[in-house]
Structure 1
Amino acid sequence: MSAFTESALLKKLSELNPSQQSIQTLSLWLIHHRKHHTVIVQTWQRELQNVPEPKKLTFMYLANDVIQNSKKKGPEYGKEFSNVLPKVFGHIGETCSSDKLLGSLGRILNIWQERGVYDPKAIADYRARMHRETSAATAANTAGNGSDTAAGHKHNHNSSSSSSGNKAERSEKREKRKHEERHMKSKRSRGSHHQSASVETPAAEAENGHTPPYLPLGEPPEPEELIKALTSIENSASSDALVRERIAKLPPEISEISCITKLEDKDKAKVLAKQVNEAVDLLNEYNARLSAEMEERTKLAAMLRDFQAEQKELLAQAEQRLDEHKKKLAKMLGLQKEIHDHLSNLPDLTQLPDVTGGLAPLPSAGDLFNTLH
């Protein structure tokens, strides 16, 4: 990946857009340069305060991606962002009024709480700071009615507070219910599609009429970790030929209920019961191994998806660098040709007359005057 500089970071932040590819690409770059996390987070905070309201949400999606995907590498980003998030949510609460923005940020906070990204008290503080402007407006409206009688003022204040509280509570419950429904739907989708690589981007979600937080792909695994996971699959239950052969050779009478009626004495019944018990134990153990293998293969599919996404991003960067270097090479070759042409047009010094004996003296001013007349 390209080297880290603050100017490069500012350029990438200015080019950031709400698409999944843009957010994920920059997130990978930031995680790669996590040793500069202090400068990165401070720059992110400063730029977020200066961008238009819609882009503030994109900046928060980026932070969400970096915080969640950097946990394996280390806690640097999680701790550093926790130092600035109170100010960030306070800034958003003071300067932003879009219900869409505040609702999307509320869903990000729900996800952080659900996944244990931050302490519930910290998340409650973020939420309170984000809604500070609404609370201030309510207080201002209440104060504006000070000319009423004390009883009327108290009645209006209580009614307004009760109404606002009920409305906020209903809104919070509705938002939580929608979030849970989306979460369950997402789980069912992952279960049926084995964690499909497609993740709906914020732009696409906006087109569909809802804007839940951008849920990033998992953190790309290290090559050694991926190789280890692939190797373990080679020794999985489905490739255990010995156990499969034992199951194939089980006597048919242990699965045929009609065979029970053919038993003639107690000893044969005991033998059959022993065979059935052994077969049940064998099948239970093998089924458990197969279930574990399914989970491993699901995890492996996610690892391959994330690894492929990272490699595509690295490939795109390598192709971009190659294109830049090709352009530089073309310029250098053009300069080389110009220099060569210039040199070929210069006079050959070896063809000049021999002046080792000295040149004739220059004519005097008088000689030149006489010559002209």
Structure 2
Amino acid sequence: MSGFSETIMRERLMRLTNTTHSIQTLSMWILHHQKKNADAILDTWLKEVRSNTDSERLLSLMNLANDVIQNARKKAPPFMNAFYEVLQPAVVHISKNADQFHRQLLERILSVWRERAIYSAENLDLLVNCLQEASISTPNLISDPESPIRTDSPLLPSHSPSRSLDNSKINLLRRLEDPASADVKIRQIIAAYPEAIANPLLLKEIKTSEEVAALMAKTVEAVPVVDAYCTRLQDELKERQNLQYLMADYIKALDQANERNKALLDSVKKGISRLDAEKKELAKHIDSLPGN
């Protein structure tokens, strides 16, 4: 494993992508070097966060932190605790610059930390508060039930959960339209390799050195193909997990909007009933006037 320097780490962070392989590889490298270079690692990571405003890039850095922190829990608890010191400014920066979809994914990371007791409830509450306070200026998925409704408008409030389907979500759905798991061509290529590559029991049937050489050649040929396909499958799994989180939040928003719309409908019905009653009283009053 290569040595450590801040320059090397910056270069590795620049090459980081939001894939399982990329994140886990850099996470292992960081954990390998954290004992002697903890301060430099944390400082470099935070600088990289602060120098970026792209939502996907910020999520990649946060996913890296998540992998490092969860693995450090058993391997290097002091480093896990030290990492918390840079999380608060990082969360504030990410909250101010990331779009709503990526803030939801950040919320999911914090929820996982709470479920697994990675940090104390008090410390996680501070991070959640940082996330929420920085997001106050962003419009909610649904309208505020306390906001006044214009009586001169025939339309319901314009805020809608459907507006949460921003470009990031649409791109995610489009990528899953052609997933690795449905790549028939590559699956056929892998299936065509000798079964003995994956089944050691079949090696007993090999009798000659020529057969050994042929199997070795096929194995060398198959390894990069299978590795690349496994990486694609891991990426697909992560995207499906992200989509699952998104849809759970989206369904929750729809349920909340439904409840608020029901409350609005009930309020309007009561208003109509009140107006009808007042209209009847007014009619009675008019009928009782002299001359009628």
TM-score by length of 1: 0.39
TM-score by length of 2: 0.49
